[in-house]
Amino acid sequence: MAFDTKLKQWTSLGLGTVLMTGALAGCSEPAAPADDASTEISQPEAATEPDPAAGATTLATEGGEGEGGVTIDAAYTDPVVYKAALAIAAAHVLAARDAHAEGETQAAAEMYAHPVSEVLFDMEPVFAAQGVADFTDLFSDTSAAVFAGESQDEISARTDKILAALDKAAESAPATDASDAMISARVASDQIDRASDMYRLALDSDFYETYLDGYGFYQAAERTFLEAESDIAAENAEAAEAIRAALALLADAYPTALRPDPMEADASALAVAASEVQLALSQ
């Protein structure tokens, strides 16, 4: 679907202006000016060791709010980057679904909208090159449905359709010599790193959405890992164990879609766990 048509849909939701200004590009922080936009969306530097096996093909680690971080050009050839972009979208809808269930309708509606401006618009040419039909209407339609007062069952059903579309798009990831198990492990690692970063930021922020972003990244990491756990363990048992350990810490840090008060998880321990996953995958 053309950008102009999409913009009309977003405007009908009252979101057209923020989409044009980039305000939805980071739901947990104020937006950067529109003329600062680029094809590379960045995240903050994590206290992690880079994966030497990944080279320059994976995710950006420049200054930012902890979301995005997808080097779009690399997504044409690197399945980890390609699938990480899809995982970011999945993270937001998982968080949105659970926030809606907790009565946080405004945050839920925004979280359903967020992935389109954050990463999916930039990924459109990549999807087109891979033969993936546009599916972003599912996000805008679900955001509108939240505003319209649909029930939790209805919103959950819409979420399942979005996740199915994301999984279908993942099937068209660029070819590689890497195994499916290790691709999944690296995508899970990326989401773990994001969840860790967002928890640290949430400790210094009053934005509920900062916590909710991290919660979504944790959920996406767990979803990615569980779908390939046995294969990951068979190929790299140390990495599988490191991912399990990191997910256990994240489960304590993000017990529900509602932000705990106080937030008592150890951000340093989360960062170390994320680093240990990366280290295990680099060996």
Q: What is the pLDDT of residues 92-104, one digit of tens each?
A: 999 999 999 999 9
Mean pLDDT of the chain: 83
pLDDT bucket at 263, cuts 50 / 70 / 90: very high
pLDDT at 50: 33
State yes or no: pLDDT of 147 exceeds 60: yes
* DSSP SS3 for 179: coil
Q: Average pLDDT for residues 3-18, to the nearest whole number?
A: 42
State yes or no: pLDDT of 231 exceeds 60: yes
pLDDT at 283: 83
State yes or no: pLDDT of 9 exceeds 60: no
**In which residue are the tokens 């164990």 written?**
241
67: left (phi over 0), alpha (psi -120 to 50) or beta: beta
b/e map 228-255, b = 16+ CB within 10 Å: bbebbbeebeebbebbeebbebbeebbe
State yes or no: pLDDT of 33 exceeds 60: no
57 or 120, higher pLDDT: 120
pLDDT bucket at 31, cuts 50 / 70 / 90: very low
Residue of 145, 126, 142, 144 whose CA lies nearest to 134: 126
Burial class (CB in 10 A: 0-12, 13-18, 19+), 31: middle
The model's pLDDT over 238-260, given as tens digits with 9 standing for 90+, comes to 999 999 999 999 999 999 999 99
Backbone torsions φ then ψ of 78, nearest 5 degrees: -110, 115
Provide the percentage of residues in the chain whose pLDDT is more than 90. 73
Which one-letter amino acid corresponds to residue 215? Y
pLDDT at 126: 97
**d(C-alpha 4, C-alpha 9), whole Å:** 9
Q: Average pLDDT for residues 17-46, to the nearest whole number?
A: 36
The model's pLDDT over 112-137, given as tens digits with 9 standing for 90+, comes to 999 999 899 999 999 999 999 999 99
State yes or no: pLDDT of 4 exceeds 50: no
pLDDT at 59: 52
User: Looking at 22-31, 64-73, 147-156, which range is the least confident one?
Assistant: 22-31
The model's pLDDT over 153-179, given as tens digits with 9 standing for 90+, comes to 999 999 999 999 999 999 999 999 999
Q: Average pLDDT for residues 195-216, to the nearest whole number?
A: 96
